[in-house]
Amino acid sequence: MDYKTVLREGIYEFEEKKSVFIGYTKRVENENEAKIFIDKIKHKHSDARHNVYGYIIGKDMMIQRYTDDGEPQGTAGIPIIEVIKKNDLKDIVVVVTRYFGGTLLGVGGLTRAYVKSASGAIKNSQIANKILGNNIKIKVNYDLIGKIQYFFNENKIDVKNIQYEDKVIFEIRCEKNNLEEIKLNIIELTSNNLDIEIGEDVMYFKSEGKYYLDNEI
């Protein structure tokens, strides 16, 4: 179930020939969540000329919806969908609000503005991979701290917590696909002088080498 989405809500605003464009994006689990977010933005900017949106939901991208909301056909909703696809994202909704500034931008100008809005909001949302992973607790003697920490640093292992008790307990997170290799390396590194506890399979959002649970974002 490895696929790309966004980590959190994002916003991006800019002005083009006195028209103000404000892009919003959010990760959603289903179409109802997407509609709720769209309604929220529409209510927030009820005085705007246009509130355009596009969303793609499902690992297989079965649900795809968009609207131009009064803009010339093909200049707003479809460009937003294409930005989502270009970034290979799923489970995401993008809404772009436009406050008309009185100057027409033309078909090309409009398309570029909506692409810029969607792209900026997505970038500010921080792209993440939704992956299957595990939490691992490793208990070792104090004389092994240096070796363990060096291994984690060299291999860019996400260390979530360190507890100093009668022994040192490292809590790390990793992808399911890398679990066995990491486990064997640590056992070899410590000459099997450790206690290791593997947590149940969970879904993480991985971004910039860090693993997040949904409730931590």
* Domain closes at, from 61, 96, 125: 125
Inform me whether the pLDDT recorded for 175 exceeds 70: yes
| Closest CA relative to residue 217, chosen from 88, 132, 130 | 130
173, with CB counted inside 10 A (0-12, 13-18, 19+), is buried
* Domain closes at, from 106, 125, 144: 125
Looking at the structure, tell me whether residues 40 and 117 fall in a common domain.
Answer: yes
Between the two ends of the chain, the Cα-to-Cα distance in Å is 19
Inform me whether the pLDDT recorded for 1 exceeds 80: no
Looking at the structure, tell me whether residues 81 and 19 fall in a common domain.
Answer: yes
Amino acid of residue 105: L
Tally the domains of the chain: 2
| Closest CA relative to residue 128, chosen from 26, 7, 2, 10 | 7
Both tokens assigned to 88: 């290979």
Inform me whether the pLDDT recorded for 59 exceeds 90: no
Considering the chain, what is the average pLDDT of its residues?
Answer: 96
Looking at the structure, tell me whether residues 147 and 169 fall in a common domain.
Answer: yes
Looking at the structure, tell me whether residues 183 and 197 fall in a common domain.
Answer: yes
131-166 pLDDT tens trace: 999 999 999 999 999 999 999 999 999 999 999 999
* Domain closes at, from 125, 145, 168: 125
Tell me the whole-structure pTM to 2 decimals. 0.88
User: d(Cα 209, Cα 157) in Å, to the nearest integer?
Assistant: 8
| Closest CA relative to residue 50, chosen from 70, 78, 26 | 70
- Asked whether the beta carbons of 176 and 133 are under 8 A apart, the reply is yes
User: d(Cα 187, Cα 189) in Å, to the nearest integer?
Assistant: 5
Range of the domain at 143: 131-208
Looking at the structure, tell me whether residues 175 and 112 fall in a common domain.
Answer: no
User: d(Cα 70, Cα 49) in Å, to the nearest integer?
Assistant: 8
Both tokens assigned to 4: 């790309």
